[in-house]
Amino acid sequence: MYYVVETGKSFDQASADLDSAVKRNGFGVLHVHDLGATLRSKGIRFEEKCKVFEVCNPIQAAKVLSTDMRLNMALPCRISVFTERGQTKIGLIKPVQMLSALSKDATLLEVAEEVESKTIQMIDEAKGTDAA
């Protein structure tokens, strides 16, 4: 259900590299939620870092919404950069599994497969995989 990778990059570098990878792959970053900073600003002791990137490809989003408008609640896609016990990680909930739980429409599953492939590619690019 999840795709999560570890990277040797710092949290800040992984965040910057994810932002670049999203744009290189034809998606846009709609917003970045800094959950760690938000929790700390509320007086909550929270040691880890966590940024949630809301990413979207408008063509794919339009396909989903024109098929089933209720799925607006599952958009946009979210990719997180976070730390866990000092290790930087990048991950997402896989769109195919999430969307297949919400709809059995073949068109939607095809879109989810395309989006999943691209978002995993973005994560792998931000991670800095050895494959070239």
Question: Could you report the per-residue pLDDT of 57-114, keeping only the tens digit for each?
Answer: 999 999 999 999 999 999 999 999 999 999 999 999 999 999 889 988 998 999 999 9
The CATH classification number of 2-127 equals 3.30.310.70
Cα atoms found within 13 Å of the Cα of residue 101, Cβ hemisphere only: 7
**CA gap 29, 50 in Å, rounded:** 16
Question: Which band of pLDDT confidence, cut at 50, 70 and 90, is reported for residue 129?
Answer: low
